[in-house]
């Protein structure tokens, strides 16, 4: 009877696919590890609240962006610019650990974080756009780029809140890093709960821009990838297999 053999082969294909996915989360040449680093950075950003927490998060961001550029095989020009920003960010992170002038360095840390998270998705999108096939790495890369965009806007809001005279969220105050990340991803996905709203410009304009970027990314890049992607083992059955009677 062929069915047990077919079932065993299907289980083996699924097991191999799972092993490939798990390997991607520990390989420095895979977007799986980039995705894991983004999640770690997010957890650090919403969990730490001490004065030195900005430096810790920035160090994590530097590692995430550097890994993203390595994985996406960034071009020399972009890599040069990114390396300059990474060095400046590292200097700022170290200075923030020892400086007593908290407000100025906090603003510097926030804007540097935003710039870092803008550089990384540009390189990732270029890389996955030129891949000859849509596979697991393409899907992981698209997801990583999408999350990096949300993180970039979150740190932009945090920067605006630290330099503006009026509270960024009006009656809700300047906001915390956790609130900025929450607001950013709610805006990126156009969920729009309405509990946090920028009190004025330029925060409102950035929120509109983020919503547009998020939707355009989903309906173009992600939608195209999902349409084309066919994981191994998902091929349509042949007519012979469909017509074969069960024995």
More confident residue, 105 or 189: 189
pLDDT value at 25 more than 50: yes
The pTM of this model reads 0.80
Contact 247, 2 (CB under 8 A): yes
How far apart CA 229 and CA 223 sit, in angstroms, is 10
Q: How far apart are CA 233 and CA 230, in angstroms?
A: 8
Q: pLDDT-based confidence at 19, cuts 50/70/90?
A: low
Rounded mean pLDDT, 56-62: 87
Q: Where are the domains of the chain?
A: 29-231
Asked if pLDDT for residue 240 goes beyond 80, the answer is: no
Per the listing, tokens 């999408």 go with 146
Q: Using omega within 30 degrees of 0 as the cis cutoff, is the peptide bond preceding 58 cis?
A: no
* Averaged pLDDT score across all residues of the chain: 80
Cite the DSSP H helix spans in the chain: 2-24, 31-47, 53-71, 76-98, 102-129, 136-163, 177-188, 203-217, 223-228, 239-243
114-134 pLDDT, tens digit per residue, is 888 888 998 998 888 887 777
How many Cα atoms occupy the beta-carbon half-sphere of 22 within 13 Å? Answer: 6
Higher pLDDT, 1 or 33: 33
Distance in angstroms (rounded) separating the CA atoms of residues 59 and 75: 23
Tell me the CA distances in angstroms from 244 to 1, 183, 236, one per residue in order: 12, 54, 15
Which pairs count as long-range contacts for 127-132, CB under 8 Å and 24+ apart, including other chains? 127/71, 127/72, 127/73, 127/74, 128/72, 128/225, 129/221
């Amino acid at each position: 009877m062929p069915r047990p053999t077919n079932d065993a082969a299907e289980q083996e294909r699924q097991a191999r696919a799972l092993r490939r996915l798990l390997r991607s989360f520990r390989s420095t040449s895979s977007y799986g590890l980039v995705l894991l680093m983004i999640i770690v950075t997010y957890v650090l950003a919403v969990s730490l609240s001490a004065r030195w927490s900005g430096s810790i998060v920035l160090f994590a961001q530097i590692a995430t962006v550097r890994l993203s550029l390595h994985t996406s095989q960034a071009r020399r020009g972009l890599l040069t610019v990114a390396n300059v920003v990474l060095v400046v960010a590292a200097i700022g992170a170290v200075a923030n650990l020892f400086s007593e002038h908290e407000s100025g360095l906090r603003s510097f840390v926030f804007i540097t974080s935003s710039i870092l998270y803008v550089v990384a998705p540009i390189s990732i999108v270029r890389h996955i756009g030129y891949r000859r096939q849509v596979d697991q790495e393409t899907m992981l890369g698209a997801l990583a780029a999408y999350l990096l965009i949300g993180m970039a806007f979150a740190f932009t809001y945090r920067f605006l809140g630290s330099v503006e005279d009026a509270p960024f969220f009006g009656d809700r105050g300047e906001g915390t890093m956790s609130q900025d990340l929450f607001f950013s991803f709610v805006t990126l996905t156009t969920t729009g709960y309405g509990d946090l709203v920028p009190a004025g410009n330029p925060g409102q304009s950035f929120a509109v821009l983020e919503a547009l970027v998020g939707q355009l990314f989903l309906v173009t890049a992600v939608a195209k990838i999902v349409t084309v992607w066919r994981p191994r083992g998902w091929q349509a059955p042949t007519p012979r297999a469909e017509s074969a009677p069960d024995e």
